[in-house]
Amino acid sequence: MRLKLDKTWSQQQLAIKLRGSGREQQGLLSWERQRLLIHAAKTALAAALCWWLALRFGLHDGYWGAISAIIVLQSNFGATITASRDRILGTVIGAAFGFLFSLFGVLPWNYIAAVFAAVALCGLLGFRSSSRLAGVTITIVMLVQSSSRKDIALDRVLQVVLGIVVAVAVTTLVFPDRARLRLRDGLAQEFLVLDAFFEAILAGFRGAPAENLAMLREDALAMLRGNNQLLEAARNEPSGGPGWREGLGMLAQFGRSLFDSLVALELAVKESRDDGYAQHLEPALGNLVTDIRTGFHYVAGCIHNWRFHVAPPELHLEDDIVKLEERMSEVRPKGIAFSQSEILRAYAVQLHLKQIARLLRASRVETSRAVGEAQKP
């Protein structure tokens, strides 16, 4: 490989990509356990603090605040904000509808109407995640025996607000975990996992398919899904600087496009074990493949360092593409000696390789523009 990344980071990420079972993998598992223990401690702290505050302020059934804190406190700040928004909206709508509908009609008809109206309203406003919470709050307000439904509704809202405020304070001040930072590392890992998938696919081109191909495909898909969830959470966090949201969203989109192109390449190389036509495309074909692999690692390093404006030295994917096209034109007269299926597979492979190479280059260039970096040669 022509380009070198930071060795420590590169080795850690390579351990993730290849599912290493050595010291690196044990270190990663140890860090995940630490994160789980930290999250458990933060949840317990938030719940206990809510219960104590509810008793201090004389709120009835103080456990509701603790329940709210436990539900909304997520593993990172952005996810906590999302859960808090859904819960407060559902609680306010449910409390308002529960109280208002209790003034009209008799059970169970006013209760049925209240639940229907609240769920429908949440859906129409685009707050579907809040609809269940609205229904639960209506049930508590209208069906729990009490002399004052107004007091129940107000108490429910106050305790939920207390739980949310405490949860947000704890996730912000105690070992804060930002979704955007986890997403940045996740995207860097994603490009390395995609490179491993790419390498496994090419092992099946003019050779035996890689044994771990299916596993690597699933790894890449799982990484994409996990990063999409982090992206949604990161959108609810305060911006970390110019172009953070745009850059992260753009990289996530490029990751999805690269995965689709790799799946298409996987289909293109099937039944190519005995093909001989592609051998005549060397060394242009091999050079492009080598530089694509280098490109995956280079972009991963750019994401890790959050620096995209420096073009990788000695890596010219567009030049590789031009040379491959020239080589294909040169060997075209020799095609009469090969089957049509071999020739079509070779053309399909080079088409997908060109797409992957251009996506890699665009992922760096377009992200650099999105984050507002000055371009350097």
Q: Are residues 166 and 200 in the same domain?
A: no
- Do residue 194 and residue 162 come from a single domain? no
- Which of 173, 201, 225 is a domain's end point? 173
Domain that holds residue 108: 23-173
> For residue 4, is it within any domain?
no
Q: How far apart are CA 187 and CA 216, in angstroms?
A: 16
- Assess whether 198 and 341 both reside in one domain: yes
Within a domain: 13: no
| Residue 55 to residue 58: CA distance in whole angstroms | 5
CA distances from 370 to 248, 363, 373 (A): 9, 10, 8
Q: Are 204 and 349 in contact (CB under 8 A)?
A: no
| CATH of residue 226 | 1.20.58
Residues 296 and 354 in one domain: yes
Based on the fold, state whether residues 205 and 109 are members of the same structural domain. no
Instruction: Report the amino acid identity of residue 41.
Output: A
Please name the residue that has the structure tokens 């906590």: 80
Considering 144, 173, 202, which residue would you say is the last residue of a domain?
173
Instruction: Identify the three-state secondary structure at position 85.
Output: helix
* Same domain (yes/no): 167, 189: no
Please tell me whether residues 74 and 145 are part of one structural domain: yes
Instruction: Looking at the structure, tell me whether residues 85 and 189 fall in a common domain.
Output: no
Any idea what DSSP says for residue 375?
P
pLDDT number for residue 195: 93
Rounded Cα–Cα distance for residues 377 and 364 (Å): 13
Structural domain tally of the chain?
A: 2
pLDDT in tens, the chain (377 residues): 333 334 344 444 444 444 443 443 444 445 567 778 888 888 888 888 888 888 888 776 677 788 888 888 876 677 777 788 888 888 889 888 988 888 887 778 889 999 999 999 888 888 888 888 888 888 888 887 665 777 777 877 888 888 888 888 888 788 777 778 888 889 999 999 999 999 999 887 766 777 888 899 999 999 999 899 888 877 777 666 667 888 888 999 999 999 999 999 998 888 776 667 777 888 888 899 999 999 999 999 999 888 888 878 778 888 889 988 888 888 887 767 777 888 888 888 889 999 999 999 999 999 988 887 654 43
Mark 58-76 as b/e (b = at least 16 C-beta within 10 Å).
ebeebebbbbbbebbbbbb
Which DSSP string corresponds to 266-291?
A: HHHTTT-TT--GGGGGTTHHHHHHHH
Residues 199 and 325 reside in one and the same domain: yes
Cα(332)–Cα(348) distance, integer angstroms: 15
Which residues, at least 6 apart from 73, have a Cβ–Cβ distance to it below 8 Å?
A: 39, 42, 43, 46, 80, 83, 167, 170, 171
Q: How far apart are CA 206 and CA 270, in angstroms?
A: 9
Q: Are residues 189 and 332 in the same domain?
A: yes
For the chain, the distance separating the N- and C-terminal CA atoms, rounded to the nearest angstrom, is 21
Distance of alpha carbon 348 from alpha carbon 153, whole angstroms: 64
My answer on whether 77 and 123 are in the same domain is: yes
Which of 122, 153, 173 is the C-terminal boundary of a domain? 173
In a domain, 7, yes or no: no
Residue 361 in any domain: the answer is yes
Identify the pLDDT of residue 21.
Answer: 36
Q: For residues 27 and 136, what is the distance between their CA atoms, to the nearest angstrom?
A: 43
Consecutive H or E run containing 218: helix 213-234
Q: Which helix (H) or strand (E) holds 130?
A: helix 128-143
